[in-house]
Structure 1
Amino acid sequence: MATLTAQQLVMDVPGRPAGRPLDLTIEPGQRWGILGPNGAGKTTLLHTLAGLRSPRAGQVLLDGRALPALSHRRLARQRAVVFQERQDSFPATVMETALIGRHPYLSPWQWEGREDHRRALAALEALGLTPLRDRLVSTLSGGERQRVALATALTQAPSLWLVDEPTNHLDLHHQVAVMALLAEQADRGAAVVMCLHDLNLAARWCDHLLLLYPDGELCFGPAADMLVPSALEALYGQRLAVGQVDGAPVFVPTGGLPANKE
């Protein structure tokens, strides 16, 4: 299990004034959603939390240690990053790609063993990819490639998931399956942080939310406290109608501007 902490963190977004510093602790078992309009900096924040981008100020700690102080191997064993888009540098099958998740546990020149293959096969099954195990990733659809990326992260067995748009390119069935899988990882003790565009998926599956506004301002807390129409309308510049389905709020854009913009 892993605890991720941001201390006085300011993202480095070129051409944008520094926003309010972020002091945030993400605990094991929590499911965090990062919400905001296009260009608000969701991906930049996720990459900064992952240690892939240097902040303008402040620091990120994993289990109390600053990310730059941790070895690449330790980071790779503890945190998985799933990007919104990806490019394949070399031809590889679905199975070979999933096995990349085991590389942090192998010594140089060591081949994957029986347990590594078992974990990869289990991940492919969890994402509904078993029939595609011998297909080249380059021949897959966008949704299938997204599921391969998630299967690779699942094979990695991280205690911290940082996922940029986990439902990107996915149909409704696979959107629900992927969100349920991430919720299951949190139930098993992992910390899960994901950037989301779908407000209703966030309302259904996240227990904490961070709202990132275009001017760099932000607010965060338990999902029940963040799912306030006035805050969400200001976030998206869109009036929302609110309903309930199975006890969870459902938000529908009405096409109008928020009251304070009229």
Structure 2
Amino acid sequence: MSVLSTRDLVIDVPGRVSGTPLNLTVKPGQVWGVLGPNGAGKTTLLHTLAGLHASRAGQVKLNDHLMGQLRRRYIAQRLGVVFQDRQDGFPATVLETALIGRHPYLSPWQMEGAEDYARAEAALERLDVAHLRDRLVSTLSGGERQRAAIATVLTQAPNVWLADEPTNHLDLHHQSAVMTLMAEQAAEGKAVIMCLHDLNLAARWCDHILLLYPDGEACWGPRDSMLVPTALESLYRQRLAVVEVDGAPVFVPIKA
């Protein structure tokens, strides 16, 4: 059973004539890594999967229902998005921002209750930003803002995570903590789809990989069949050396 799927999906990237139709089946417990160079359409794909960007062709289904026929409230209760770029619409504290994750479950004008606050507080603690709960988000560093954004989606508790560069701005410790969180979500039966630039994070934490090429070509499958030097060198136009560390491949760029 899939929680998110596509049928002959072609994402709409300006200036691109066509692309490989995507027929993806994302199941509970899977962690997908979307890899590709800048401009390949990774962010556009995530926004299309979320129903925020129209496709050029094809369909997206959430729980076997066409995305375009679902109410936004239904979608928001089941699908969460960690955006790469965020704009602060109005001044809000870190706690107030995390509580936005509970809005899909509240009726109009309903205030958050004790359970909503408890979920938000637990999410802030999990992302190591609880000590910032009363700070305005606009005053945070890039890494702190990123962790607060992920805490908001954790508060939302979706069945499907769409994360665009979730480790962006994070130091090594918090990168590992966020990837561990994503793995925990999958272990609980959630599905996770992440756009990543770091091959080594994908190799260690993802079980399925989608490769997006700048010309619109794409291929996907289990991690071990996709993360091979020939495919990755073609994808990034970069020679790579591969070593094994703790049972996982590590990719190192080689000078031209």
TM-score (norm 1): 0.96
Q: Provide the secondary structure at the position in 2 that maps to 1:59.
A: strand
CA contact (8 A) 2:2 2:25 kept: no
2:23 is paired with a residue of what secondary structure?
strand
Aligned to 1:55: 55
Give the match's secondary structure for 1:103.
Answer: helix
Q: 1:178 is matched by which residue type in structure 2?
A: V
DSSP 3-state at the match of 1:21: coil
Tell whether the 8 Å contact from 1:33 to 1:193 is kept in structure 2 after alignment.
Answer: yes
- Deviations 1:195-226 (Å, cap 9, x if unpaired)? 00001000010000000011110110000110
Residue by residue over 1:72-129, the C-alpha shift from the partner in whole angstroms, topping out at 9 and shown as x without a partner, is: 1110000001100101010000000000000000001100000000000000000001
SS in 2 for 1:22: coil
User: Which residue in the other structure is 2:128 paired with?
Assistant: 128
Following TM superposition, by how much is the alpha carbon of 1:2 offset from its aligned partner in structure 2, in angstroms? 6.2
Q: Which runs of 4+ in 1 moved over 3 A?
A: none
- Aligned pair in 2 of structure 1 residues 151, 2: CA closer, same or farther (>3 Å)? farther
Q: After the TM superposition, which residues 178-217 of structure 1 pair with which residues of structure 2 at under 5 Å, given as runs?
A: 178-217=178-217
In the alignment, the residues of structure 2 paired with residue 255 and residue 234 of structure 1 have an alpha-carbon distance, to the nearest angstrom, of: 15
For residues 208-262 of structure 1, what are the alpha-carbon distances to aligned partners after superposition, in whole Å with 9 as ceiling and x for unaligned? 0000011110110000110110000000000000000000000000022xxxxxx
TM-score by length of 2: 0.99
User: Shift in Å at residue 15 of structure 1?
Assistant: 1.1
**Cα offsets for 1:149-197 (capped at 9, x unmatched):** 0000000000000000000000000000000001100000100000000
Amino acid at match of 2:66: A
Partner residue in 2 for 1:106 = 106
Residue equivalent to 2:65: 65
Question: CA-to-partner distance for each residue in 1:29-66, whole Å, 9 max, x for gaps?
Answer: 10000000011111011111111101000010011110
**Residue pairs, 1:154-173, within 5 angstroms:** 154-173=154-173
Partner of 1:260: none
| CA distance in 2: counterparts of 1:179 and 1:2, whole angstroms | 22
Runs (5+) with no aligned partner, structure 1: 257-262
Q: Which residue of 2 aligns with 1:26?
A: 26
Match of 1:255 in 2: 255
Q: Which amino acid aligns with 2:198?
A: D
Q: Equivalent residue of 1:23, what SS?
A: coil
Matched pairs, number: 256
Q: Percent identity?
A: 71
Secondary structure in structure 2 of the residue aligned to 1:88: coil
1:230 corresponds to which residue?
230
Give how far 1:20 is off: 1.3
The amino acid of 2:18's aligned partner reads A
Q: Which runs of 5+ in 2 are unaligned?
A: none
Residue 259 (structure 1) aligns with: none
Q: Does the 8 A contact of 1:6 with 1:60 survive in 2?
A: yes
Equivalents in 1 of 2:171, 2:154: separation in Å? 20
